[in-house]
Structure 1
C-alpha cells in the first residue's frame, strides 16, 4: 500500500468517526459532550498527530497532542492548567525530545543520493517562480498538451501517468490532491538549460522519471513529507536542470532516472 493510499484511509476513517461521534453526541448517547467545532478540531489535530508520527516529526506530534488536551480540558478535569501553560510545556517537551532524538526524528531529505542534515525550512523557496514573457509580464499557463512548451497535470483522488513528448519543454505544472502522479520526461527535450517543475501537492505522491543526463535542483516548500533525489548516473554529461519549486503538503516527491 502506498503512502498516499495510507493517508487517504487515515483521513477518511477520521472523518467517518467524527461524523458518527457528532451524531451520537447530539443524541446524548455518549457521556462525553462536546460541540461541533470541538469535533472538527479534534479531527484536524488527531490526523495531524498521526501524520507527524508517520513522518517522524516530534514538534508536530507534541503540539497536536497539546491542542487536543486544551480542547478536552473539561472532560479530562485539567481545567486548572491554562492553555498557555500547556503550550509552553509542549514547546519545552518538543525542544527536549528534539535534542535527545535529533538524528532519529529529523525529516528524511535525500539530495544527489546522500542524506543531508537540513530542516524542511532550509528547502523553502524564497519566491514561487511564475513564467514571464520577454517583456517581463507574468502569465499563467492553461496548456494541458503532452507535447507543448508548458504542460499542466491535474489529479484529484486518482492516479495519473503522463508521458511528455515535448521537444521544446519549458515547464511542467503538477496540481494534485490525494493523488499519485507519475511524470515521464525521458522522451522530452528542454527548450533551454532549465525546465521548471511547479508543484502544488497535498496528501499525494509525485514521481518524476528523467533521462540520466538531467540535473535536479529542489526549492520545494515541503511540510510533513519526503523529498528523494538520487545521484545522477552521468555526472560528466551536460544536460538541462529540472528545478523543483512550489509546495508539497503531507506529500512525497521522488525523482528517478531511467
Structure 2
C-alpha cells in the first residue's frame, strides 16, 4: 500500500468524523462543504511542508482561512488581504530560501525591459562520470538545451517564471535518468524524444500536468519524472 494512499485515506476518515461531529453542534457554523474543502487543503498544506514549497504552504493556508473565516472570526481579512499576504510571503520566502534541490549558483539576468529575475544553470560531474544538471528560474523565463553525454539526473525548478527544457540531444548514462521537477506559480515545458520510455510520477496541487503527442517507448532509454506542480503547469511534449 502506498504511503500517499494511507495519508489521504486517514485524512478523509478524519474528515468523515468531523462531518458527523459538526452535525452534533460541536463546530457551530461549519458545513459539509467547508469540511470537505478543508480536508483537501490540509492535505495540500502538509504536502507543501514536506516538499518545502512556500507557495503551496502559504496559499493553502490562505484558502483554509477563507473557507473557515466565519469560524475564525476573520471575515474582514478575506479574501484579498489574505491572498495578497500569501502572494507577498511566497515571493519573499522564495528569495530568502531557494529550492533545496539546487546546489549551484544563481546568476542575475536582466530580461526585456530590465525586469528583475534569476536564472540558474549548473552542471556537476560525479566520480563515475555521470552528469547532474540543476536548472531553475525565478521571476524570469529561460530555454535550455541539455546536451550532456552521460546524463543521470536533472533538477528543474520554475518559481513565478517559465522554463523550457529540450532533452532531444541528451544521452542517458546506462540508458536511464531521473528528472525532478518543482513548479510553483510558474510553467515548465519538457521536450523529450518520443522513442524514450517515460514514467511520470508528478503530483499536482491546484495545477496541471499534461502530456502532448505519443510516447512510443521503443528505445532502451528510460526517463522517470518525479516532483510536484502547485499553482502552475507542466507540459510534456514528445518529439
Structure with larger RCO (C-alpha < 8 A, sep 6+) = 1
Normalised TM-score (structure 1): 0.47
Give 1 or 2: higher strand fraction. 2
Q: Bigger radius of gyration, 1 or 2?
A: 1
